[in-house]
Amino acid sequence: MTTDRILIFDTTLRDGEQSPGCSMNLEEKLRVAAQLEALGVDIIEAGFAIASEGDFEAVEAVARQAERAIVASLARANRADIERAAQALKPARRPRIHTFIATSPLHMKVKLGKSPEEVLEAIRESVTFARNLVEDVEWSAEDATRSEPDFLARAIETAIRAGASTINLPDTVGYATPETYGALFRDMLNRVPNADKAIFSTHCHNDLGLAVANTLAAVMAGARQVESTVNGIGERAGNAAVEEIAMALRVRHDVLPFRTGIVTTEITRASRLVSAVTGMQVQPNKAIVGANAFAHESGIHQDGMLKDAATYEIMTPESVGQAQSSLVLGKHSGRAAFRDKLAQLGYSLADNEFADAFRRFKDLADAKKQVFDEDIIALVDDEVLRGHDRIQVSEVEVYCGSTGQARAILTLSVDGEEKMAAAKGTGPVDALFKAVRAIVPHPEAHLLRYEVAAVTAGTDAQAEVSVVLGEAGRTARGVGAHTDTLVASARAYVNALNKLLVKRGRSALAA
């Protein structure tokens, strides 16, 4: 393909969700999918339809909701997977089946137990079958970067001949370097006879911290679709981050003369939504969307910034939808002003959601002297995204100090029924979490991680707490925000517990 247009294939809802503890419920997936369309991605990979009933429902719901983007479902190279994907994609205006099979000697021998000729036949059969069900078929060579070039070329030629219009060469294990990954694309584009009949795509994992660099190298070599995720979330060390790719292509257009359909002013909103939904906080020094991405502490840097921001900033905060926090609302602000601010921040709430958010805003304004945009974002995300949890925090009382054990009295709403418990612990957080366990027993689950971050500066800042629970190989991440760190902690733990119970498939909560 000679065009300078790069298609953005977003797999936040599929590969990104495979990050430990990052699973999303249906409502959360729909909110993220809507934001991905606002961000301007071209293809949304909504899930792996055959993986579970939940994944099937999510793919189907995103397919029904999407107005512009192509909606894809992943499928292995077999009829059952492909049929299930096609069924889930029926409501889509622009459906795509994304089928894959491994092509490296290691994967073919150890994982598949197939000979190279058997893999070629599986490619032919699966792509042909998928192409008979939908017009748009993408084929991926799993572990392409460790595949033998001669065999990989044969596999690509077979897939295109069978009807694949997109060929993905993923760096499945993050093994490639920019030089080798770029060379792979140049080699395949030159070697495969029918390469001009398909768009070549990247899918890079970040195990060596090279995912974005590898992606850009492949684009320079001829790839015209890139697969990525918001905030770079994904298996192991994650995927190439869509915001980094988009801004690299925009800022360095002089050496990367390509364009995307990404609306860059939606980047920060997408990042914050995905962070809130998954509970996976963005590291402060993360490129483009980190809290420190546009922060300057060094005196030399500050002096330069005061004279001309271009001395130390190669892009503006506004270009990625990030602006300086400003005090615009307080305890005397009314509903109209609050609704207008929500609109500015990209929120559109139903009447009941708005009423709940406004009530919490008033409580927050009474507790804080200054209410910043970040406070409102944390407040709304915490309220709206957690509003449908079966277990919710009603009241928290904690007694602690330098002498004696801490004591917590906790009231939870469990399927609409108020339940209360008191517990003692080595500290207030330990006591709170023990109280949760007393109300909703989950003896097999254990706490894997507990993190606290301030939403804004100051002693009255809202705390944003992240909790990861583990049970029998499953993990669930929860988040909570409040001006009281302990209340935020209880909300985060309960949010994680809700997700864990859903994963467990339990039909009723423990008494």
Q: Compute the average pLDDT of residues 190-213.
A: 98
**pLDDT tens, position by position, 241-268:** 999 999 999 999 999 999 999 999 999 9
Interval 267-292 mean pLDDT? 89
Q: Are the C-beta atoms of residues 170 and 203 closer than 8 Å to each other?
A: yes
DSSP 317-378: GGGGT-------B-TT--HHHHHHHHHHTT----HHHHHHHHHHHHHHHHH-S-B-HHHHHH
pLDDT at 478: 84
For residue 293, what are the CA distances in angstroms to 156, 284, 316, 458? 40, 7, 10, 20
Q: Using an 8 Å Cβ cutoff, are 387 and 506 in contact?
A: no
Task: Name residues whose C-beta falls within 8 Å of residue 106's C-beta, 6 or more positions apart in sequence.
Answer: 143, 146
Range with lowest mean pLDDT among 24-28, 66-70, 129-133, 344-348:
344-348
d(CA 443, CA 154): 53
Mean pLDDT, rounded, for 204-231: 98
Q: Is the pLDDT of residue 346 over 80?
A: no
Residue 298 has pLDDT above 60, yes or no: no
* Band of pLDDT at residue 320, cut at 50, 70 and 90: very high
Q: For 98-125, what is each residue's pLDDT tens digit? A: 999 999 999 999 999 999 999 999 999 9
CA dihedral 57→236→122→149, nearest 10 degrees, is 150
Fold (CATH) for 389-504: Double Stranded RNA Binding Domain (3.30.160)
Q: Is the pLDDT of residue 237 over 80?
A: yes
Inform me whether the pLDDT recorded for 509 exceeds 50.
no
More confident site: 42 or 459: 42
Confidence bin at 350 (pLDDT 50/70/90): confident
Topology adopted by domain 7-278: TIM Barrel (3.20.20)
Q: Spell out the domain ranges in the chain.
A: 7-278, 294-319, 325-385, 389-504
- Residue (of 460, 462, 282, 491) closest to 383 by Cα position: 491
463-488 residue pLDDT tens: 889 898 988 878 888 888 888 999 99
Residues 6 or more apart in contact with residue 497 via CB below 8 angstroms: 391, 436, 440, 442, 445, 469, 476, 478
